[in-house]
Amino acid sequence: MRIVRHIMGLPISLEFRGDARQAEPAFSWLTEADRRFSPFHPDSEVSRFEPDGKHSADLRDILALCATYERLTGGAFRATLPGRAFDPSGVVKGWAAQRAADLLRANGVRKFCLNAGGDVVAAGRSWSVGIRHPDLPHELCAVLAVRKLAVATSGSYERGEHVVDGRTGQPTRDLVSLTVVARNLTVADATSTAAFAMGTPGIAWAAARPGCLVHAVDAHRRVYRSPGLDRLLVPSGTMAS
């Protein structure tokens, strides 16, 4: 069965074996997460955020996640930039989608592929996950066969230069795509966003994170990948390192 919903301003698809009713808690949570944590909703917890205010347990989790990656990147990743409002979007999608995946499992769904705008949680069997070519929208630069893994990509080819290096306040321009494969999507998404903000040094930083594998393309279209990623590669890409 395949279900597609438009949530968080993007398509979220679920392919799974089971009953549609088993998927509803996951989609309900994603809708709630969008309402509560999107900076684009004026009444969300994020939009009403005050550093010294009272925060929900979920928002405290998000704040802790942001603080961890700010520390690990030496400030390259920041949820609050000078002159800008608090925006944890760089970690919220992966965090929310991972919880949705956990809800699917809690409701008896064992085989599924949850795709939240290109960030994927795969479970139960091997699923093919493509990494989009940065210059050719209808081509892939790699295809990964993943099982019990999550895949997240940060890039400039769809939304433009939206990832900012918190140390300089300037967009990151020396990478066009950075994908992280990890055991859960919270880690994969936060690591890919944080590493992209670091620029080229972020490739080695992400690859050194425990349990993370990396595929990256720089502004000169050079491809970098973790040696351990080779075992996941399906021989159908259009770009070779």
Dist CA 99 CA 30 (whole Å): 9
Alpha-carbon distance 82 to 63, whole Å? 17
What pLDDT, on a 0 to 100 scale, did the predictor assign at position 157? 61
Q: Which residues contact 226 (CB under 8 A, 6 or more apart)?
A: 207, 212, 213, 214, 215
What sign has the CA pseudo-torsion 211, 198, 157, 67? Answer: positive
What's the confidence (pLDDT) of residue 140? 93
pLDDT for 217 equals: 96
Return phi, psi of residue 130, to 5°. Answer: -90, 145
Say yes or no to pLDDT of 239 above 60: no
Q: What is the pLDDT of residues 169-195, one digit of tens each?
A: 999 899 999 999 999 999 999 999 999
Q: Which residues pair with 162 in a beta bridge?
A: none
pLDDT interval class at 235 (50, 70, 90): confident
Residue 236 has a pLDDT of 58
CB 93 within 8 A of CB 116: yes
Q: Is residue 161 predicted with pLDDT exceeding 90? A: no
Predicted structure pTM score? 0.93
**Backbone φ, ψ for residue 152 (5° rounding):** -135, 140
Does the pLDDT at position 46 exceed 80? yes
As a whole number, the mean pLDDT across the chain is: 93
Report, as an integer, the average pLDDT of 114-120. 96
Residue 3, exposed/middle/buried by CB under 10 A (0-12, 13-18, 19+)? middle
Residue with tokens 């930083």, as numbered in its chain: 205
Query: Residue 155: pLDDT band by 50, 70, 90 thresholds?
Result: confident
Is a pLDDT exceeding 50 seen at residue 240?
no
Question: Tell me: domain 2-234, CATH 2.60.40.10, correct?
Answer: no
Q: What is the pLDDT of residues 71-92, one digit of tens each?
A: 999 999 999 998 899 999 999 9
Task: DSSP letter for 112, please.
Answer: E
